[in-house]
Structure 1
Amino acid sequence: MEALIHGIVLAFGLILPLGVQNVFIFNQGATHKKFSNAIPAVITAGICDTILISIAVAGVSIIILSFGWLHTFMYLVGFLFLLYMGFLMWKETSQLQNKQQSTPFTAKKQIFFAASVSLLNPHAILDTIGVIGTSSLVYSGFEKWIFTLSCIAVSWIWFFSLAIAGRRVGQLDTNGNLLKRMNQLSAFIIWIMAIYMLYQLILSI
């Protein structure tokens, strides 16, 4: 029971703060007319978190990230990708202003971007390794399985909840104005995180 509660509380603490992954999943729920159309983003984010958590608990990621050059490379790729993603979000806003209609991401693009914001986010990876990976060291055997599965379950539940919340907000937006503001906010959040990542990159050089 202790491992279960510990995993749930820890996972919620890590996943609740506003981040690129959360912004993207919420945005997909809001921009698609049907919730089912946002499922590719949700499932991809869930699978990526499952992989990261499993690797962190296994201790493999600690060995991989012990290489200093890999930190620098991750921050550089993450910075460039976030700049690009912010541009796409802002471009979507321009389309809404001109056409009063959205052009939602296709399933293939959702999978690509959901995987990218999950696996190319150094902060998410380091948090998973430093917090979940380290916390799992106090457990062994069946308890470690319970701890790991509870962390993974929280991620999946949270992503589905985010997409559903986004869909509800999107349904309230009858003229497209709310969606425009959401896309603008998403772009700004992503660009701010890109700047912070650039700052971290400069410090690591």
Structure 2
Amino acid sequence: MTLAFPTFTAGMVLSISLIMAIGPQNAHVLRMGLQRQHLWLTVVVCALADIALISLGVLGLAQLGGLSDKLMGALVGAGVLFLSVYGWQAFQRFLHPRALALDTQDGDQHATLVAEPVSRRQAVLSALAFSWLNPHAWLDTAVLIGTASLAYGQGSTVFGLGAAAGSVVWFLALGVAAFWLGRRLNSLHVWRALDGMVALMMWGTALWLISSLA
């Protein structure tokens, strides 16, 4: 028990440190929070998707020596296509906000952006796409965490459980933050700033992935 706790904590700390950067997956959670559409469903799907990748890394890829070149190339290609298309959609939203509504609070009128309805199926598929079509997610969760778990020998499973717990803690915290922001910062300026940031992030990540193939 004395050895298990530090191993569990090490896995949790590594997991949180790898996923806490505002990448495509986290930006998507924030956007769903601002839209106030299926936020907690998105949080659950993203956490479960990360747990699946962590399990794959700890139980399989670590022993196999990582992803094959062909599989990695296919993931990079799919990731570049997905990130480019989503970046273009975000850029279009930045240039042309789709709808405005007048919201009245305390007698004051202010413009807020009205999002197009998103079905549960669309929310689940989007969360899975951001989790599994992003090569960074595979590298961080499956490869890096899986490889790090080898250092703990028979404690690798405990390390993996800690990493999975770290993912759950992070996405719950991010969901709370997104819910809080969604209730207070639902304005045209905030949405346009987020869409502009997302477009640049997506295209920048796609270009970095393309350069990694050279």
Q: Quick check: 1:177 aligned with 2:178?
A: no
Q: Quick check: 1:18 aligned with 2:29?
A: no
Instruction: For residue 170 of structure 1, report the CA deviation from its aligned partner.
Output: 2.0
Residue-by-residue CA offset, 1:74-110 (whole Å, 9 max, x unaligned): 1111100111112232344456354342225332222
- Summarize the Cα distance change of 1:96–1:11 in structure 2 as closer, same or farther, 3 Å threshold: same
Aligned to 2:73: 72
Please say which of residues 17-26 and 132-141 is displaced more in the overlay.
132-141
For the 8 Å contact 1:95–1:101, the answer to whether it is kept is no
Give matches, 1:1-205, under 5 Å: 1-32=5-36, 37-60=38-61, 63=64, 65-93=66-94, 96=97, 98-99=99-100, 100-141=113-154, 143-173=155-185, 175-201=187-213, 203=214
Secondary structure of 1:103's counterpart equals coil
CA distance in 1, matches of 2:131, 2:65: 17
CA distance in 2, matches of 1:25, 1:180: 16
Please say which of residues 43-52 and 68-77 is displaced more in the overlay.
68-77
Higher helix share: 1
- Summarize the Cα distance change of 1:79–1:62 in structure 2 as closer, same or farther, 3 Å threshold: farther
Secondary structure of 1:96's counterpart equals coil
CA distance in 1, matches of 2:163, 2:191: 31
Identity of aligned residues (%): 26
Instruction: For residue 64 of structure 1, report the CA deviation from its aligned partner.
Output: 8.4
Secondary structure of 1:102's counterpart equals coil
| Structure 2 unmatched runs, 5+ | 101-112
Instruction: For residue 169 of structure 1, report the CA deviation from its aligned partner.
Output: 1.5
Using the size of structure 2 for normalisation, the TM-score is: 0.82
| Structure 1 unmatched runs, 5+ | none
- Summarize the Cα distance change of 1:60–1:131 in structure 2 as closer, same or farther, 3 Å threshold: closer
CA distance in 2, matches of 1:61, 1:109: 33
Please say which of residues 112-121 and 91-100 is displaced more in the overlay.
91-100
Name the amino acid aligned to 1:178.
V
Using the size of structure 1 for normalisation, the TM-score is: 0.85
Secondary structure of 1:23's counterpart equals helix
Name the amino acid aligned to 1:153.
A
Bigger radius of gyration among the two: 2
- Summarize the Cα distance change of 1:84–1:151 in structure 2 as closer, same or farther, 3 Å threshold: same
Instruction: For residue 152 of structure 1, report the CA deviation from its aligned partner.
Output: 0.6
